[in-house]
Amino acid sequence: MNQTNEERIKNLLENFNKESLQPLWTLEHDIMPFKPKPQSVAWLWKWDKLYELAEEAGEVITLDRGGDRRAIALANPGLGGMPFATETLWMAVQWLNGHEVAPAHRHTPQAIRFIVDGAGSYSTVEGDRVYLEKGDLVLNPPLLWHDHGSDSDERAIWIDGLDIPLTKYLNANFFEPMGKDVQEVDTVKNFSVLKYGAGTMKPAWEREKPKYPPMSTFKWSRTEQALNDLASSGDSSPYDDIALEYVNPLTGDPVMKTFSCWIQMIRPGVHTKAHREVCSTVYFVFEGSGYSIIDGVKFEWQKGDLFIIPNWKCHEHVNPTGERAILFSINDRPTMDLLDKYREEAYTENEGHQKVNATFDPSKK
């Protein structure tokens, strides 16, 4: 008996399924949407709560020798329980007790730390021991040995940004414990900062253009000076106000290959224009308070809070206070740029400002 076309289609689809095949015409725009449809959602974590939980972890969780870190990851509620801030970025709060050692290891994920309170702690990156102070950016390129330690009685606390989710997706993760707690150090303290930290000048006898910045740390005093100088220049970004990207001083490239680090000052009274970009960003409020409007939702932030701007969500920043606000952030724009996928679009309605439809409510997961 002859089958109808409908019956043949039904049959065909069943056979596709049996053979582990899927025809594009049934997939709609799930795999090729008209525009990015991120799974990660705009979200905000309050510092008071993060601190309270990290402090508790500092009391009850010991650092296992040969392994781990007391790092607590942001788990974006849109990512189905994965410990990832966005589809590509990891962000964690790390707590190190006084005189503690986080043992040496190395891995392929690229890492940075931004120091909230260093309190006499240090990080040794490939034999270069740098002391951690508030506002420092510490770099940890792939496969460089690193251990963290403390010479003080006080706890240290910082945030870690890594490309763990991207590395996992690419199946490119390698991890190696060193087998001993701390690396030997045969250079002076802060060696790479002393040698290369000026940034705009370099030791004259060296000609290399290293793939990663030659200094392990960008010190806060220089960063703050750069922000103040840029503010004095009279120039600024309509979308980000006084925004600086940390770069390899010898190449001008972002400090990591897969993600970039920014520091920005939203000056008192500034309300930036909205735009959207093909990249995801994790923000950390280093100083001050204000709010950001992300896709029509108002996210009020204060010192220490962390928040997410997912891919292709319109965003603008506001500092309604009389004090400067300083935001540190990481974003995966370098990945998009390298793969030729970056796009940007200004929000043009209403003079570039979104209407606020709602205020962020963390209870609505």
Q: Which is nearer to ligand GTQ, 69 or 271 (CB)?
A: 69
HEC letters along the chain: CCCCHHHHHHHHHHHHHHCCCCCHHHCCCCCCCCCCCCCCCCEEECHHHHHHHHHHHHHHCCCCCCCCCCEEECCCHHHCCCCCCCCCCEEEEEEECCCCEEEEEEECCCEEEEEEECCCEEEEECCEEEECCCCCEEEECCCCCEEEEECCCCCEEEEEEECHHHHHHCCCCCEEECCCCCCCCCCCCCHHHHHHCCCCCCCCCCCCCCCCCCCCEECHHHHHHHHHHHHHHCCCECCCEEEEECECCCCCCECCCCCEEEEEEECCCCECCCEEECCCEEEEEEECCEEEEECCEEEEECCCCEEEECCCCCEEEECCCCCCEEEEEEECHHHHHHCCCCCEEECCHHHHCCCCCEECCCCCC
Q: Which is nearer to ligand GTQ, 102 or 215 (CB)?
A: 102
Residue entry with tokens 């795999």? 31
Q: Which is nearer to ligand GTQ, 140 or 236 (CB)?
A: 140
Shortest gap between Cβ of 194 and ligand GTQ (angstroms)? 23
Q: Which is nearer to ligand GTQ, 183 or 292 (CB)?
A: 183
Shortest gap between Cβ of 223 and ligand GTQ (angstroms)? 21
∠ CA(32), CA(37), CA(41), 5° rounding? 160
Q: Which is nearer to ligand GTQ, 160 or 240 (CB)?
A: 160
Shortest gap between Cβ of 58 and ligand GTQ (angstroms)? 15
Shortest gap between Cβ of 43 and ligand GTQ (angstroms)? 18
Q: Which residues bind ligand GTQ (CB under 6 A)?
A: 69, 71, 92, 94, 107, 146, 160, 162
Shortest gap between Cβ of 162 and ligand GTQ (angstroms)? 5
Burial class (CB in 10 A: 0-12, 13-18, 19+), 111: buried
Shortest gap between Cβ of 231 and ligand GTQ (angstroms)? 32
Q: Which is nearer to ligand GTQ, 107 or 155 (CB)?
A: 107
Shortest gap between Cβ of 44 and ligand GTQ (angstroms)? 19
Q: Which is nearer to ligand GTQ, 91 or 263 (CB)?
A: 91
CA gap 217, 223 in Å, rounded: 11
Q: Which is nearer to ligand GTQ, 103 or 288 (CB)?
A: 103
Shortest gap between Cβ of 272 and ligand GTQ (angstroms)? 30
- Bridge partners, residue 285, by sequence: 327
Q: Which is nearer to ligand GTQ, 96 or 265 (CB)?
A: 96
How crowded is residue 321: how many other Cβ atoms within 10 Å of its Cβ?
Answer: 13
Shortest gap between Cβ of 283 and ligand GTQ (angstroms)? 17
